[in-house]
Structures are given as C-alpha cells and as structure tokens.
Structure 1
C-alpha cells in the first residue's frame, strides 16, 4: 500500500514535469547558416569572425557569400535557401514588408564614399546630371541606397549614365577618366578607399554639404565627420574635415531562430564590434539604434541588462541546459512542498487503517459480550476472537507501527477473558 501512496505522488510529479516540458524550447540546432557579402568585403570578414566565436562555443556557423544586402534580404526570406541570419545595410527596405525578420542590433557605421574627378565641380549631388556615375552592383545595398539619394536630386537613368558597378571595378575607370564619379559604401579600412584617396591629384573625396537634410529625411542615416589624416596620417589624407553620411550594418535573423542562438549571435557581435573604430568609440556598438527591423525580445533584454545570468558565468552550452532545467524546477518545487506535507500523513493513515479496521468488529463483539450469559454463545464468540487475533497478528506493518498491533491484541485478550468466565473456562477472580 505504501507503494501506491508514494507511486501516486511520483506519478503526479512526473505528469506535471511532462506537461511543463511541452512548453520548454528544445535544444538549439548545432548548425546555423548566415549569408554575408563578397569574399573581399567587410561583411564576409566579420561573418568569419562570428563563425570562429560560434566554433569556440560548440556550434557551426556556415558563412555564405552574396552580391550584397539586397541579395541577402532575398535569400533570408526564401524558405528553400535555409538561411537563418544575415548582415544587411540599413535603409534597404521597410519592416512591414518582412514580418518574419528581426534585428539583433546595429553593428557599425558604413560610410557612403563619393569619389569624383577633380574636373567635375561637385557641390551637390544634383551636379551629377549628365555624367557617368558608378552606383554599386545590382543586388547590393549600395545600389539601392545610392539610387534613392540620386533620385531625390533628379539623377536617374534618363538624366545621367548610371553604371551598376562596385568600387573595385569602378575605381580604375575613375582614375582613367572613363567615368566621372563613383559611390561606395564601405568601412574606413577599405583598401579601395585608401587607394582612391592617394590618387588625390586627379580624384577628390566629396563632402556632403547638405548632410543634415539627408539625416533628417532618412532616419537610418548618420552624419559623420572624417578628420584630417583619418585615412592616411603620413600623407594627411584628407587634408580637411570631410562630412559623410552612413547607414549602419544590421544583424538580421529570422523570427523563428532558436532564442539561445539569438543570444549567441549577440555575444558574438559584442565580442567582434565592441572596440569601435574611427567613427564609433569603444562600447558604442552593437546597439539598438537605426534598426532595419523590429528588435527581437532577446536583443531588447540583452541591451537592457546584458546576457542572461547563467550565460555570464557558465559555458554557453551548459548555461542553456541549466536554463531549460530551471524551467522544469518550477513545477517540481511547487509540487514537492505539498507532496512532502501530504504524503507522510497519508502513508501513516493507510498503515493505521489496516489495524483500526478490526476495532469496528471488536466493538460489536464487546457489546454482545457485555450482556451475554449463554456459555455456548460465549464459546462461539471466543472462536471469532481467536480468528481475529490470528488475522491481526498476520497483518503486515512497519516495525514502528507494531505497538498498534499489540495494543489491539491486548484489547482482544480483555474481551476473551470476560467470555471465558461466561463459558466457565476460568473463574472470575483469575481475570484480575
């Protein structure tokens, strides 16, 4: 019977754990796929650093190359592409068009570089009308953003020759005077940017004179100042302040990516980008500003209070395992206290019930024996008491409860003595 009591308690506890387990996230997959950019670009280099961080924590991050941010957007939206994360340039789309995507934050500024021939007097972008301009390869974020800015200045395919080429292909053409200007979105450490800056005798870096207007009309853009010598200290390039515009690179994931992997991406981003660069001080990135898509819940918690408590002090895989167990402990602790309170009394009641059930029958015999005078009837009741005594003696109870057994048998003996007097087997004075 004790097995039934404790077995029922264990079953209740097991059932509660099973129900809770249905709401616990499964362990994250060991492999994640991320799309970056071209092999020579900053996106690809940063994604490779993420992959190293993932590897250190026991996960594989597969990094795919692409044509750029627009290509990344198309591939992360394609269910058959099996891409869970991407690096994207700010301002390439709107959140309403892609409800299944979330941002984990902004990572770094991506300045818009405009290099033009010194022959071209370029005060505003509208002055590019009638000229040959490289605006970035199709499928790139550069192409999308530059086309938007140029269109606002009435520079379209009808008013200028717009060439869909990136900085690597367009830079030699600019130096050879085959084109008049080129746009590029790249980090300050770009080799192509440095090379064009060194060609300052024939090529000039444009400073956005209406930067404040662009920033106020395009909230994903940031006004930056490149100080003298910011590109090359030895040659003092540029030789004066240059005003630049810059979107920020976003770390984008699918909404259904496992929450633990979102935290792993955030930890990787913090590890890779926290030191800052020419345009951002240490600790400025990653952050929740200038987002391309809504911020995920995990990122919101991360920027508010840092990584979850267990991830701060335990290895990542151990932390997420402990996090899952913590959820299971809630019903466990909730049920254990009442079970500990209820089970022992229920067990004691069940043991005592085995013994006390005989008292009902014993009381009936005692009532009959109280007014009994017939010796034959007394001997018949003695046989019943003898049978009861044997049954009580054979009742199995823990040693700690045997006092109940002997107390019952003592009461049986008292009634037996009274009946033996009536049956004439002993004299009344012998019962004392």
Structure 2
C-alpha cells in the first residue's frame, strides 16, 4: 500500500477493534457463563400438556375436569382428562411411579398422608355431602338398622364405597350381616324405586340427577338425616356437618320439607410432587374461578382453601392462599408471566455482574492502550541509566541509533486521539536522552 497515512489508519482500526473485541468479549463471556450457570438452577418451562384422572363420565369430578380443561386451553395448555372408578382408583393411579398422570380429584379421608409421601394437596375444592336414601317402609333411625338389608354402597374403587363401608362398619353393619351392592347411584336408583334394594348411599352435589330424582319420589323413598352427625365429624376430622335447608333441593316442590343433617368430606385437588410449579398455579387459578362462587353448602370465596386436606399443602398453594397469585400473574397473560418470572431469576447474576463489569472493563481497556506506550519506558530507563556516566562516543552513537528507531516505532504506535499526549510525552523523554547522547558525541569530536 503506497499511502502511508491510509496504512496507518488501517493498522489503527485493526489494532483497536481487536483489542475491544478481546476485552469486551471477555466481559460478555463472563456474563454469559454466569447466566448459563444460573439457568441450570432455574426450572424449565412447563410442558404443554398435563394429564388428570377424575371419575366416571357421569360424575361431578369429570364435569369439573372438563371446565378445568377449557380453562387450561384458554391459557395455551392441554389438560388431558382420563376417567376412573373414583377416588380410590385415582389414588392408586397417582401413586404408581410408572403412571404419567400428575393430577387428580380425590375425596377427603381416603388415605393417610404418610403412606403417600410423593403426593400433595393443592386445595380443598367443595363439600361432597353423603346422601342416604332409604325405602320408607324401613323407618330407619340409625345406620345400625341397615343390618340384614340390601344396600348400594358405591362402585368398587370409588371414594363413596370406601367412606360408606367405614361408616357402616362403625355401626356394626358389614358384608357378613348385610348385602352390599357395589353400585353407584345411576345403577342403584331404579332398584331403590322398585324396592329391589332397601337403601342407597351416594356422594354428590345438590344438583345431582340421582339426588333430585330420589328426593322427588317421596311416596316410596325418603332422605335420611344423620342424627349422629356430630359424633361422626368429631371422630373423623375430615368430615364436616352440613345442614340442607327446606327447599334446598327444589324450592317449588319444597324438597326437602324440613332441615336435613348431612356429613361431608371435601373434594381435594391432588398432584404429584414433580408437577411443574407454573402448572400448579394454573390449577389454582382454575380452581379459584370454577369453585370460588360457592354452592348450597359454601359461601362465595370459601373455596378453594387450604383446610380439610387429604395430603400436605403444597408451597405454591400456601403462598396462593396467603397472598394470591404471584404479582406478574395478576397483570400479564399466564405464559408471559412465567417467562418473565424466569427472566427475573436470570437477571440476578446479570445485575450482579453488570455493574462491576462496566466499572472494570473501561479501565482494562485504558490499561491496554497505555501499555502500548509504557512498555517503551523499561528500555528507555535502561538507556538513560547507561547514558548517565557514558563517555564512549562509539557507544553513544549506537544508543542514538536505538533511540531514533524507538522514536520511529513510538510515532507509529496506534492509539486513540485521547491518548496521544502519552505518545508525545514519551517522545519528549526520548528526546531528552538523545540530547544528552548527542552532547557526548560532540564533546568526543571536539576533543579529537
């Protein structure tokens, strides 16, 4: 290249781009490494799909699950709903380590928490009253009067079957002294109306088809009022004493005509402990929307809650019931909120390192620039010390040649304009030593 000025400019740009790349690239590399390290401890994004097991398609669990499914779909997630025989089946499925199911509805009181350490309760959702419909000809006073009778106790694998068998056993009624039919209300109701069986137990809501149908058959069937409800709830703390007021089933037909005392466990939303935290909050948001309005037995806002739980309450639920949903979920779409939550965690190392990096990087860059100039001072000082007592003109000539070459190289050193004062300061110092050496050479020439 013939133009020396252009050559110098290109050299300057090449040198400083490379230096900037090295220094700032190192800073970015440190920051990226810190972010990567932090990312290893951040929960991954939740899966797009979660599987839930409920009950039969004719039951309340399945109906509620379909509302959950619609809620999940509205937030961009797929909730797959599977059917089962009921709560006991759901417990077995969710407890199976080979199962891909991660959530289920379950009836309170069906298991001990210590026997299932990997399960957690997200919330209690609503009361599930125990209804007992009996043939009027029995004139039932206590459950003990069902000895020797044909009784529908709920399908095998259902929570109804589990709870009813326990209550009857406490009253001395067992499969040895009575005939238990493992049938749900859908199958057993016609048999009760036709007097093929003597009593029917079911766990359902007030709006259940079977409850409304059997309550209206007041000529042949009557609804049993638990006269020992207080004893049951004190014996089994997962049960709640409820009062169905007159007209609670049908106001127009005044069904029932008098107060009816019932006992009820609470339906629980159960998860495995490996369910993603974000999906836990999505379940809780769905539960608040679907169950928060209340019903005949619960005031608005009473459910979901952290009471009457089957398993220990999850940490997310404890925070949810104490403070509501996380701050970002209140104001952002769900997916945007969980993404922002992840970024918030990643910002911790970013902000921690960014400030010191911004403080360290410019001084490091300045040091690299000055180093290009100051490296000459070591050689210059050695020459200066030698020139202090020098009398040999030949050696002085050699040193002058070295200084001229040094001066040329310093002049060609590429530095930003803001650092040229350092270049010229060095050249002045070189000139001082050259002047001393030139005097030595002149003095030697005059003496010759």
When normalised by structure 2's length, the TM-score is 0.93
Alignment counterpart, residue 251 of structure 1, candidates 248, 264, 269: 269
1:105 aligned to 2:126?
Answer: no
CA RMSD of aligned residues (A): 1.6
In the alignment, the residues of structure 1 paired with residue 93 and residue 41 of structure 2 have an alpha-carbon distance, to the nearest angstrom, of: 31
In the alignment, the residues of structure 2 paired with residue 225 and residue 427 of structure 1 have an alpha-carbon distance, to the nearest angstrom, of: 126
Does the CA contact (< 8 Å) of 2:87 and 2:107 recur in 1? Answer: yes
1:54 aligned to 2:76?
Answer: no
Alignment counterpart, residue 140 of structure 1, candidates 149, 153, 158: 158
1:4 aligned to 2:17?
Answer: no
Mean Cα displacement is larger for which, 306-315 or 387-396? 387-396
Alignment counterpart, residue 113 of structure 2, candidates 82, 89, 95: 95
Instruction: After TM superposition, give the deviation of residue 160 of structure 1 in Å.
Output: 1.0
Helix, strand or coil: the match of 1:79? coil
Distance 1:415 1:54, change over 3 A: same
In the alignment, the residues of structure 2 paired with residue 88 and residue 80 of structure 1 have an alpha-carbon distance, to the nearest angstrom, of: 20
How do 1:19-418 and structure 2 match up within 5 A?
Answer: 19-418=37-436
Helix, strand or coil: the match of 1:38? coil
In the alignment, the residues of structure 2 paired with residue 93 and residue 373 of structure 1 have an alpha-carbon distance, to the nearest angstrom, of: 105
Instruction: After TM superposition, give the deviation of residue 426 of structure 1 in Å.
Output: 12
Instruction: After TM superposition, give the deviation of residue 275 of structure 1 in Å.
Output: 0.3
In the alignment, the residues of structure 1 paired with residue 99 and residue 218 of structure 2 have an alpha-carbon distance, to the nearest angstrom, of: 44
Helix, strand or coil: the match of 1:116? strand
Instruction: After TM superposition, give the deviation of residue 23 of structure 1 in Å.
Output: 0.5
Does the CA contact (< 8 Å) of 1:421 and 1:427 recur in 2? Answer: no
Does the CA contact (< 8 Å) of 1:48 and 1:63 recur in 2? Answer: yes
Q: Which runs of 4+ in 1 moved over 4 A?
A: 425-428
In the alignment, the residues of structure 2 paired with residue 374 and residue 242 of structure 1 have an alpha-carbon distance, to the nearest angstrom, of: 125
In the alignment, the residues of structure 1 paired with residue 433 and residue 385 of structure 2 have an alpha-carbon distance, to the nearest angstrom, of: 10
Does the CA contact (< 8 Å) of 2:133 and 2:223 recur in 1? Answer: yes
Helix, strand or coil: the match of 1:322? helix
Mean Cα displacement is larger for which, 71-80 or 233-242? 71-80
CA-to-aligned-CA distance 1:292-331 (integer Å, 9 cap, x gap): 1111111111111111111111111111111111111111
Does the CA contact (< 8 Å) of 2:393 and 2:444 recur in 1? Answer: no
Distance 1:263 1:427, change over 3 A: farther
Instruction: After TM superposition, give the deviation of residue 4 of structure 1 in Å.
Output: 2.9
Q: Which runs of 5+ in 1 are unaligned?
A: none
Does the CA contact (< 8 Å) of 1:104 and 1:262 recur in 2? Answer: yes
CA-to-aligned-CA distance 1:132-155 (integer Å, 9 cap, x gap): 111111111100000000000010
In the alignment, the residues of structure 1 paired with residue 95 and residue 388 of structure 2 have an alpha-carbon distance, to the nearest angstrom, of: 93
In the alignment, the residues of structure 2 paired with residue 2 and residue 47 of structure 1 have an alpha-carbon distance, to the nearest angstrom, of: 59
Distance 1:426 1:304, change over 3 A: farther
In the alignment, the residues of structure 2 paired with residue 207 and residue 395 of structure 1 have an alpha-carbon distance, to the nearest angstrom, of: 101
In the alignment, the residues of structure 1 paired with residue 245 and residue 148 of structure 2 have an alpha-carbon distance, to the nearest angstrom, of: 31
